[in-house]
Amino acid sequence: MPHSTSWWLPPGTSPDAALVLAARGIRAFTDGYVALLLPYYLTLLGYSAFEVGLIATATLLGSGLLTLLTGLFAYRFRMHAMLTTACLLMLGTGLGFAVVTDFWPLLLIAVIGTLNPSSGDVSVFSPLEHSLLSHAVTSEQRTALFARYSLVGHLVGALGALAAAIPGVLAQWNVLELKAATQAMFVLYGFSGLVALALYRRLAAAGSRGDEARSVPLGPSRGIVYRLAALFSLDSFAGGFAVQSLLALWLFLQFDLSVEAAGTIFFWTGILAAASFLAAPAIARRIGLINTMVFTHLPANVFCILAALMPTLPLAVLFLCLRALLSSMDVPARTSYVMAVVSPAERPAAASMTAVPRSLAAAVSPAFSGYLLTLTSFGWPLVICGALKIAYDLTLLGMFRKVKPPEER
């Protein structure tokens, strides 16, 4: 494996990883503003909070189904053929949301498309990229590389959140009407899929190890992967109550917040989440991957509950920022742990099979969250999210604290 000399990649990492991280950044930027513009655009079209929740649910449900198909059939196709299909689907999703305004067609596009209502990456791209990255790095540097992957996603996603203000600026300057300007942002989302595709094609031209390494269905690792998938489902079901689109909707309703102000808030929460990834590898080396996942997650979930209880916007934002500083530190540790406890050939299937239940579970709760917000603007979705995530943390610690990855044995 040729080693990269790039200062921002861990030692001994293949140059392939830089292309994957660049593609992740392209998608993260458009995901960052789409997560905020989605509820804003739908309310602009006249849809209720419940209908917004249904469409958010549909996007997550569709991502789960696509990821399931990836896990079941990845070993039959070349990695780059699947990435190409995903990029073209991203193009179709952006164009569809830009030109379609009726509810049922929008719901259908949400199901079959790649739209991401969350600040994290819950799309079909994730298991494919995780597999590519795991082949591009040594075991000792795996967590560090996944930390950079998460760092790029959150940092560029934070910049994308600021871009949610662009339609308002264009409307204020009489360049475009507000609705047309928002639709143009969805077109940009679609064409960003073509930019990512150009990067993936460079991987194919370089002969990426993602295609050299033969993948197989789950075998000896099936038991541990299924147990992890069940726990990750609980975590994602909880997180679905406070996906970024619904969290933005709560701020709109509870504090009459503008989309521009929401973009600024989510920019800073994204920056804080990104900064936390820099600490994750060092913490994981000191206390282990499972402990890192649990002991950074627990206080974040307490902050989530406290944010819902705050009577003023500044206090709510304070606790949302404290939550952001800790809530995502488990992401690179979780990904690294899954890749570590399965054989290399099982990695695409394992990445998919742990992602699918997460996407499906997360798909259910936004509809409940939207319904709750039609009843009251109080942050019940945040309270439920925090409480369920605390239960997940304690269960994960109890079940897996003695199951060590190779580098911790």
Q: Cα separation of 188 and 29, whole Å?
A: 11
Q: Is residue 51 part of a domain?
A: yes
- With b meaning 16 or more CB within 10 Å and e meaning fewer, what string describes 84-123? eebbebbbebbbbbbeebeeeebbebbbebbbbbbbbbbb
Indicate which CATH number applies to the domain containing 233: 1.20.1250.20
Average pLDDT for the chain: 85
* pLDDT score of 93: 95
pLDDT band for 210, please (50, 70, 90 cuts): very low
- The Cα–Cα gap between 381 and 369 comes to 5
Contact indicator for 160, 29 with CB cutoff of 8 Å = yes
Q: Which residues of 168-189 are buried (b: 16+ CB within 10 A; e: fewer)?
A: bebbeeeebebeebbbbbbebb
From CA 41, how far away is CA 55, in angstroms rounded? 12
Q: How far is CA 83 from CA 67, 79, 216, in A?
A: 12, 6, 18
- Give the Cα separation of 330 and 291 in Å (integer): 9
- Residues 198-224 have a mean pLDDT of 67
Predicted local distance difference test score (pLDDT) of residue 206: 54
Q: pLDDT category, 216, cuts 50, 70, 90?
A: low
Which of the listed ranges 67-71, 74-78, 208-212, 386-390 does the model predict with the highest average pLDDT? 386-390
pLDDT on residue 47? 92
Residues in the chain: 409
Name the pLDDT band for 27 (thresholds 50, 70, 90): very high
Question: Is residue 189 over pLDDT 90?
Answer: yes
Q: How confident is the model at residue 213 (pLDDT cuts 50, 70, 90)?
A: very low
Q: 252 CB contacts (<8 Å, ≥6 apart)?
A: 39, 40, 43, 259, 262
Q: Does residue 5 sit within a domain? A: no
Question: Would you state the pLDDT for residue 42?
Answer: 93
Residue 180 lies in a domain: yes
Report whether 392 contacts 231 (CB < 8 A).
Answer: yes
Q: Tell me, yes or no, whether 393 lies in a domain.
A: yes
Residue 55 resides in a domain? yes
What pLDDT score was predicted for residue 33? 92
Q: According to the model, what pLDDT value does residue 143 have?
A: 85
Residue range of the domain that includes 357: 16-408
- Inform me whether the pLDDT recorded for 361 exceeds 80: no
194-198, 278-282, 403-407: the lowest-pLDDT one: 403-407
Report yes or no on 9 lying in a domain.
no
- The per-residue pLDDT for 367 is 85
Domain contains 321:
yes
Residue 4 inside a domain? The answer is no
Confidence category of residue 21, pLDDT binned at 50, 70, 90: very high
Q: What is the mean pLDDT of residues 236-243?
A: 88
Better pLDDT: 2 or 236? 236
Span 143-166, average pLDDT: 87
Collect all residues with Cβ–Cβ distance below 8 Å to 235 and sequence separation of at least 6: 358, 389, 392
Task: State the pLDDT confidence band at 215, using cuts at 50, 70 and 90.
Answer: low
Q: What is the pLDDT of residue 317?
A: 94
The count of other CB atoms within 10 Å of the CB of residue 395 is: 15
Is 61:74 a contact under the CB 8 Å cutoff?
no
Name the domain count of the chain. 1
- 362-390 residue pLDDT tens: 778 888 888 998 888 898 999 999 999 99
Task: Read off the pLDDT band of 142 (50, 70, 90).
Answer: confident
